[in-house]
Amino acid sequence: MIRFFVLFTCCALLVACSKSKEQASENPCDREFTNCSSQYVPIDTGMNGFFFLPGSYWVYRNDSLNAIDSVVLSSLAMGCQTYEWYMNQCYKVDYYRMNFVSYRSKTTWYDIIEGTQMMRNYDPYFVDWWRGWGLYSLSATFIDSMQVGNHMFYKIEKSSSPNTTDLITAYTAKDFGIIRQVKETTPPQTWDLVRWKIYR
């Protein structure tokens, strides 16, 4: 009887472990129901360096204004979104969305990673993605290196905001985020990254 009890307990434990393993590896996109012909798009592993966690912060300095701004990652969300395109086609896309706040301007925004791209306030797989501000893409032409203050950064993408009333040119470095921001005012305002603390 004791042998039977031990054997039964071992079998029950094996089944429970197997089920919890399946649940842990379950993809959130598997739970998304769609009526369209869908294609699954995971986040490319080349974007993993941008998976910042809440509490991360970046401090920027503007020498001409003698001013400091701190940007904090306040919260994040991740999961799966379904984007419907044309002719009953859609994409099930993993996303990693980071919500930021600037303490100087009191503004908020989000950067979202999908597939091989990171965009600001616009989703890369939305049907009119080209209207958004692409901060970093693995298929971009990179600036090899750039010195900002005392620091050297590598694999930098230069991008511009789509809003012509408040044009901003940003330089985004692999694994760090934005290292320099130039606001195209008269005269232009340059904000350089001087200090940071990134949690991953």
Residues 6+ apart with CB under 8 A from 145: 152, 153, 154, 156
Distances (CA, A) of 48 to 117, 177, 189: 11, 12, 31
Domains of the chain (ranges, CATH numbers)? 37-197 (2.40.360)
Closest CA to 71 of 200, 191, 164, 156: 191
- With tokens 């408040």, the residue in question is 166
> What is the torsional sign of CA 179, 183, 184, 190?
negative
Q: Where are the beta strands (DSSP E) in 9-87?
A: 37-41, 57-62, 67-84
The model carries a pTM of 0.82
- For the chain (200 residues), the mean pLDDT of every run of 10, in chain order, is 43 43 54 68 97 98 94 97 83 96 94 98 91 95 96 97 85 98 91 97
Tell me, what's the pLDDT at 31?
Answer: 57
178 with 172: CB under 8 angstroms? Answer: yes
